[in-house]
Amino acid sequence: MIKEVTRIAPSPTGDMHIGTARTAYFNWLIARATGGKFILRIDDTDLARNDEKCVDVIHQVMQFLGLNHDETFRQSQRLQRYRDVAEKLVDKGLAVRATNGAILFQPNYYPGHFHDTVAGDIAITDNDKKIINGMVLFKGEDKGAGPVYHFASVVDDIDVGVTRVIRGVDHLTNTAKHITLYHAIEQVVGIGLIIPKFSHIGLIMGRDPETGKVKKLSKRDGASSMLKYIEDGWHPDGLLNGMLRLGWGPKVDNKANTIMSRRRATNMFIHEGNMKANPATLDMAKLKWYDEQYKKGATGE
Protein backbone atom coordinates (compact mmCIF):
# COMPACT_ATOMS: atom_id res chain seq x y z
CA MET A 1 0.00 0.00 0.00
CA ILE A 2 1.43 3.39 -0.87
CA LYS A 3 1.96 5.83 1.96
CA GLU A 4 -0.56 8.51 1.10
CA VAL A 5 0.24 12.17 1.62
CA THR A 6 -2.97 14.08 2.30
CA ARG A 7 -3.80 17.59 3.38
CA ILE A 8 -6.51 19.81 4.69
CA ALA A 9 -6.34 23.35 3.32
CA PRO A 10 -8.72 25.69 5.11
CA SER A 11 -8.92 29.39 4.31
CA PRO A 12 -8.87 31.47 7.50
CA THR A 13 -11.81 33.60 6.47
CA GLY A 14 -14.44 32.49 8.95
CA ASP A 15 -15.08 30.12 11.81
CA MET A 16 -14.06 26.57 10.89
CA HIS A 17 -17.01 24.80 9.25
CA ILE A 18 -18.08 21.27 10.24
CA GLY A 19 -17.65 20.31 6.56
CA THR A 20 -13.99 21.31 6.73
CA ALA A 21 -13.56 19.30 9.93
CA ARG A 22 -15.14 16.27 8.24
CA THR A 23 -12.82 16.63 5.25
CA ALA A 24 -9.90 16.92 7.63
CA TYR A 25 -10.94 13.68 9.37
CA PHE A 26 -11.24 11.75 6.09
CA ASN A 27 -7.82 12.94 4.91
CA TRP A 28 -6.32 12.18 8.32
CA LEU A 29 -7.79 8.65 8.22
CA ILE A 30 -6.21 7.93 4.84
CA ALA A 31 -2.81 9.21 5.95
CA ARG A 32 -2.90 7.24 9.19
CA ALA A 33 -4.23 4.06 7.55
CA THR A 34 -1.33 4.01 5.10
CA GLY A 35 1.44 5.25 7.39
CA GLY A 36 1.67 8.38 5.25
CA LYS A 37 1.58 12.06 6.11
CA PHE A 38 -1.20 14.48 6.94
CA ILE A 39 -0.48 18.13 6.20
CA LEU A 40 -2.25 21.22 7.47
CA ARG A 41 -2.01 24.04 4.95
CA ILE A 42 -3.43 27.46 5.65
CA ASP A 43 -4.77 29.04 2.44
CA ASP A 44 -4.17 32.64 3.44
CA THR A 45 -3.32 34.38 0.18
CA ASP A 46 -6.49 36.47 0.23
CA LEU A 47 -4.95 39.17 2.41
CA ALA A 48 -8.10 41.29 2.45
CA ARG A 49 -10.25 38.48 3.87
CA ASN A 50 -7.80 36.71 6.18
CA ASP A 51 -8.31 36.84 9.88
CA GLU A 52 -5.53 35.76 12.26
CA LYS A 53 -8.16 34.73 14.80
CA CYS A 54 -9.44 32.19 12.28
CA VAL A 55 -5.96 30.69 11.97
CA ASP A 56 -5.96 30.19 15.75
CA VAL A 57 -9.41 28.59 15.58
CA ILE A 58 -8.24 26.15 12.90
CA HIS A 59 -5.38 25.01 15.15
CA GLN A 60 -7.66 24.87 18.18
CA VAL A 61 -10.24 22.72 16.36
CA MET A 62 -7.66 20.32 14.97
CA GLN A 63 -6.16 19.91 18.42
CA PHE A 64 -9.55 19.44 20.05
CA LEU A 65 -10.47 16.71 17.56
CA GLY A 66 -7.05 15.10 17.95
CA LEU A 67 -6.34 15.28 14.22
CA ASN A 68 -2.60 15.71 14.57
CA HIS A 69 -0.65 16.82 11.53
CA ASP A 70 2.87 15.95 10.43
CA GLU A 71 3.59 19.24 8.69
CA THR A 72 2.01 22.64 8.50
CA PHE A 73 2.62 25.72 6.38
CA ARG A 74 0.97 28.90 5.22
CA GLN A 75 0.59 29.90 1.61
CA SER A 76 1.49 33.49 2.54
CA GLN A 77 5.04 32.25 3.27
CA ARG A 78 5.41 30.90 -0.27
CA LEU A 79 4.53 33.87 -2.46
CA GLN A 80 8.01 33.94 -4.00
CA ARG A 81 7.73 30.27 -4.92
CA TYR A 82 4.41 30.84 -6.74
CA ARG A 83 5.93 33.82 -8.55
CA ASP A 84 8.96 31.74 -9.60
CA VAL A 85 6.84 28.89 -10.95
CA ALA A 86 4.62 31.34 -12.83
CA GLU A 87 7.74 32.95 -14.36
CA LYS A 88 9.05 29.55 -15.38
CA LEU A 89 5.76 28.84 -17.14
CA VAL A 90 6.14 32.12 -19.02
CA ASP A 91 9.71 31.18 -20.02
CA LYS A 92 8.45 27.87 -21.39
CA GLY A 93 5.58 29.49 -23.30
CA LEU A 94 3.03 27.87 -21.00
CA ALA A 95 1.84 31.22 -19.71
CA VAL A 96 1.87 34.80 -20.92
CA ARG A 97 2.25 38.13 -19.19
CA ALA A 98 -0.61 40.62 -19.49
CA THR A 99 -0.07 44.38 -19.56
CA ASN A 100 -0.90 44.76 -15.85
CA GLY A 101 1.76 42.15 -14.99
CA ALA A 102 -0.75 39.36 -14.41
CA ILE A 103 0.36 35.93 -15.61
CA LEU A 104 -2.19 34.03 -17.67
CA PHE A 105 -2.23 30.29 -18.33
CA GLN A 106 -1.56 29.06 -21.85
CA PRO A 107 -1.47 25.26 -21.63
CA ASN A 108 -0.02 23.13 -24.40
CA TYR A 109 -1.89 20.01 -23.34
CA TYR A 110 -5.32 19.18 -21.94
CA PRO A 111 -6.03 15.70 -20.65
CA GLY A 112 -9.30 14.32 -22.06
CA HIS A 113 -10.68 13.34 -18.69
CA PHE A 114 -9.82 12.52 -15.12
CA HIS A 115 -10.96 9.94 -12.66
CA ASP A 116 -12.56 10.68 -9.34
CA THR A 117 -12.97 7.77 -6.92
CA VAL A 118 -16.41 9.03 -5.87
CA ALA A 119 -17.76 10.91 -8.89
CA GLY A 120 -16.32 8.55 -11.53
CA ASP A 121 -14.83 9.52 -14.89
CA ILE A 122 -15.15 13.22 -15.63
CA ALA A 123 -14.54 14.60 -19.13
CA ILE A 124 -12.57 17.81 -19.63
CA THR A 125 -14.85 19.56 -22.09
CA ASP A 126 -14.25 22.21 -24.74
CA ASN A 127 -15.97 24.62 -22.44
CA ASP A 128 -13.50 23.76 -19.63
CA LYS A 129 -10.64 24.36 -22.06
CA LYS A 130 -12.04 27.77 -22.97
CA ILE A 131 -12.10 28.72 -19.30
CA ILE A 132 -8.67 27.26 -18.57
CA ASN A 133 -6.92 28.89 -21.50
CA GLY A 134 -6.13 32.42 -20.42
CA MET A 135 -7.09 31.97 -16.76
CA VAL A 136 -5.16 34.16 -14.34
CA LEU A 137 -2.48 32.28 -12.41
CA PHE A 138 -0.76 35.22 -10.78
CA LYS A 139 -2.58 38.51 -10.35
CA GLY A 140 -1.20 41.83 -11.57
CA GLU A 141 0.04 44.66 -9.34
CA ASP A 142 -3.38 46.31 -9.51
CA LYS A 143 -4.99 43.20 -7.94
CA GLY A 144 -2.44 42.57 -5.19
CA ALA A 145 0.20 40.61 -7.15
CA GLY A 146 -0.52 37.20 -5.68
CA PRO A 147 -1.43 33.72 -6.91
CA VAL A 148 -5.01 32.58 -7.44
CA TYR A 149 -6.13 29.62 -5.35
CA HIS A 150 -6.02 27.09 -8.21
CA PHE A 151 -2.43 27.85 -9.04
CA ALA A 152 -1.08 28.10 -5.48
CA SER A 153 -2.87 24.93 -4.49
CA VAL A 154 -1.41 22.85 -7.32
CA VAL A 155 2.12 24.24 -6.79
CA ASP A 156 1.84 23.32 -3.12
CA ASP A 157 0.43 19.88 -3.76
CA ILE A 158 3.29 19.16 -6.17
CA ASP A 159 5.98 20.56 -3.84
CA VAL A 160 4.87 18.60 -0.81
CA GLY A 161 4.04 15.47 -2.78
CA VAL A 162 0.33 15.18 -2.09
CA THR A 163 -0.92 11.85 -3.42
CA ARG A 164 -4.55 11.99 -2.40
CA VAL A 165 -7.07 14.81 -2.27
CA ILE A 166 -10.40 14.39 -0.53
CA ARG A 167 -12.56 17.51 -0.56
CA GLY A 168 -16.12 18.72 -1.01
CA VAL A 169 -17.89 18.20 -4.31
CA ASP A 170 -18.03 21.99 -4.73
CA HIS A 171 -14.42 21.63 -5.92
CA LEU A 172 -15.19 19.04 -8.58
CA THR A 173 -15.66 21.74 -11.23
CA ASN A 174 -12.23 23.16 -10.36
CA THR A 175 -10.49 19.87 -10.93
CA ALA A 176 -10.18 20.18 -14.74
CA LYS A 177 -8.14 23.35 -14.08
CA HIS A 178 -6.03 21.58 -11.51
CA ILE A 179 -5.29 18.52 -13.64
CA THR A 180 -4.29 20.74 -16.59
CA LEU A 181 -2.06 22.74 -14.25
CA TYR A 182 -0.34 19.56 -13.01
CA HIS A 183 0.60 18.69 -16.57
CA ALA A 184 1.97 22.17 -17.28
CA ILE A 185 3.81 22.71 -13.99
CA GLU A 186 5.38 19.28 -14.25
CA GLN A 187 7.15 20.49 -17.39
CA VAL A 188 8.89 23.31 -15.52
CA VAL A 189 9.38 21.76 -12.09
CA GLY A 190 10.56 18.50 -13.54
CA ILE A 191 10.19 16.10 -10.62
CA GLY A 192 7.91 13.79 -12.57
CA LEU A 193 4.18 13.95 -12.82
CA ILE A 194 2.36 13.06 -9.62
CA ILE A 195 -1.35 13.68 -10.00
CA PRO A 196 -3.14 12.88 -6.78
CA LYS A 197 -6.08 10.56 -6.66
CA PHE A 198 -9.17 12.74 -6.20
CA SER A 199 -12.29 12.01 -4.16
CA HIS A 200 -15.03 14.63 -4.11
CA ILE A 201 -17.61 13.98 -1.45
CA GLY A 202 -21.19 15.21 -1.06
CA LEU A 203 -21.67 18.43 0.88
CA ILE A 204 -23.18 18.57 4.35
CA MET A 205 -26.69 19.97 4.29
CA GLY A 206 -28.68 21.39 7.19
CA ARG A 207 -32.34 21.67 8.03
CA ASP A 208 -33.98 25.05 8.39
CA PRO A 209 -35.18 25.04 12.04
CA GLU A 210 -38.42 26.80 11.09
CA THR A 211 -39.46 25.22 7.83
CA GLY A 212 -37.63 21.89 8.16
CA LYS A 213 -36.41 22.31 4.59
CA VAL A 214 -33.01 20.88 3.63
CA LYS A 215 -30.51 23.54 2.57
CA LYS A 216 -26.77 24.02 2.29
CA LEU A 217 -25.27 24.38 5.75
CA SER A 218 -23.90 27.89 5.52
CA LYS A 219 -21.17 29.49 7.57
CA ARG A 220 -23.81 31.59 9.31
CA ASP A 221 -25.57 28.49 10.58
CA GLY A 222 -24.84 27.72 14.25
CA ALA A 223 -24.63 23.99 13.50
CA SER A 224 -21.75 24.59 11.11
CA SER A 225 -19.44 26.24 13.65
CA MET A 226 -16.75 24.00 15.10
CA LEU A 227 -15.92 26.66 17.67
CA LYS A 228 -19.48 26.57 18.93
CA TYR A 229 -19.33 22.77 19.38
CA ILE A 230 -16.19 23.19 21.49
CA GLU A 231 -17.70 26.02 23.53
CA ASP A 232 -20.89 24.02 24.09
CA GLY A 233 -18.92 21.10 25.54
CA TRP A 234 -19.37 18.47 22.84
CA HIS A 235 -17.28 15.31 23.01
CA PRO A 236 -14.63 15.25 20.28
CA ASP A 237 -15.08 11.53 19.58
CA GLY A 238 -18.85 11.90 19.31
CA LEU A 239 -18.35 14.68 16.77
CA LEU A 240 -15.82 12.64 14.79
CA ASN A 241 -18.13 9.64 14.80
CA GLY A 242 -21.05 11.78 13.61
CA MET A 243 -18.92 13.38 10.89
CA LEU A 244 -17.64 10.00 9.76
CA ARG A 245 -21.18 8.97 8.96
CA LEU A 246 -21.87 12.16 7.03
CA GLY A 247 -20.33 11.08 3.76
CA TRP A 248 -18.94 7.63 4.51
CA GLY A 249 -20.58 4.34 5.34
CA PRO A 250 -19.13 0.95 6.32
CA LYS A 251 -19.85 -1.95 3.97
CA VAL A 252 -21.32 -3.85 6.90
CA ASP A 253 -23.58 -1.26 8.45
CA ASN A 254 -24.65 -3.06 11.61
CA LYS A 255 -24.94 -2.07 15.26
CA ALA A 256 -21.32 -2.96 15.96
CA ASN A 257 -20.21 -0.43 13.34
CA THR A 258 -22.38 2.44 14.52
CA ILE A 259 -20.13 3.62 17.31
CA MET A 260 -16.67 3.57 15.86
CA SER A 261 -13.48 4.85 17.42
CA ARG A 262 -10.95 6.62 15.25
CA ARG A 263 -8.72 3.57 15.55
CA ARG A 264 -11.40 1.29 14.07
CA ALA A 265 -12.32 3.91 11.49
CA THR A 266 -8.66 4.04 10.46
CA ASN A 267 -8.71 0.31 9.81
CA MET A 268 -12.00 0.33 7.93
CA PHE A 269 -12.04 3.61 6.02
CA ILE A 270 -10.32 2.53 2.82
CA HIS A 271 -11.28 -1.07 2.24
CA GLU A 272 -14.38 -1.67 4.28
CA GLY A 273 -16.50 1.31 3.41
CA ASN A 274 -17.30 3.92 0.82
CA MET A 275 -17.30 7.66 0.60
CA LYS A 276 -20.53 9.06 -0.77
CA ALA A 277 -21.35 11.44 -3.58
CA ASN A 278 -24.79 12.36 -2.29
CA PRO A 279 -25.28 15.31 0.03
CA ALA A 280 -25.56 14.30 3.67
CA THR A 281 -28.09 16.00 5.92
CA LEU A 282 -26.84 16.88 9.35
CA ASP A 283 -29.30 15.44 11.84
CA MET A 284 -28.67 17.24 15.13
CA ALA A 285 -30.58 14.62 17.15
CA LYS A 286 -28.31 11.91 15.79
CA LEU A 287 -25.18 13.94 16.38
CA LYS A 288 -26.33 14.53 19.95
CA TRP A 289 -26.92 10.78 20.32
CA TYR A 290 -23.29 10.08 19.37
CA ASP A 291 -22.18 12.74 21.84
CA GLU A 292 -24.17 11.09 24.63
CA GLN A 293 -22.81 7.63 23.88
CA TYR A 294 -19.22 8.80 24.28
CA LYS A 295 -20.12 10.84 27.36
CA LYS A 296 -21.63 7.68 28.85
CA GLY A 297 -18.32 5.91 28.31
CA ALA A 298 -18.61 4.27 24.90
CA THR A 299 -15.23 3.91 23.25
CA GLY A 300 -16.22 2.62 19.84
CA GLU A 301 -13.70 -0.20 20.15
Q: Which residues bind ligand GLU (CB under 6 A)?
A: 9-11, 43, 153, 167, 171
**CB-CB contact of 206 with 221 (8 Å):** yes
Q: At its nearest, how many Å lie between ligand GLU and the CB of residue 70? A: 17
Report in angstroms how near the CB of residue 85 gets to ligand GLU at its nearest: 17
The values of phi and psi at residue 117, to 5°, are -70, -20
The closest residue (CB) to ligand GLU is 43
Task: List, in order, residues 6 or more apart from 255 with CB less than 8 Å away.
Answer: none
**Half-sphere exposure (Cβ direction) of 134: Cα atoms closer than 13 Å:** 5
Choose between 37 and 167: whose C-beta lies nearer to ligand GLU.
Answer: 167
Query: How many residues in the chain?
Result: 301
CB of 45 to ligand GLU, least distance (A): 9
Nearest to 276 by CA among 26, 107, 30: 26
Contacts of 180 (CB under 8 A, 6+ apart): 105, 107, 109, 110, 111, 124, 132
- Kindly tell me which of 225 and 293 has the beta carbon lying closer to ligand GLU: 225
Least distance (Å) from ligand GLU to the CB of residue 141? Answer: 24
Give the nearer residue to ligand GLU in terms of CB position, either 71 or 232: 71
Q: 3-class DSSP state for residue 48? A: coil
Whichever of 14 and 111 has its CB closer to ligand GLU, that residue is 14
Question: E strand or H helix at 123, and its extent?
Answer: strand 120-123
Shorter beta-carbon distance to ligand GLU: residue 92 or 219: 219
Read off the DSSP letter of residue 195: P
Q: How far is the CB of 96 from ligand GLU (least distance, A)?
A: 25
Find the shortest distance in angstroms from Cβ 104 to ligand GLU: 21
What gap in Å lies between CA 249 and CA 272, rounded to an integer? 9
**Cβ closer to ligand GLU: 171 or 276?**
171
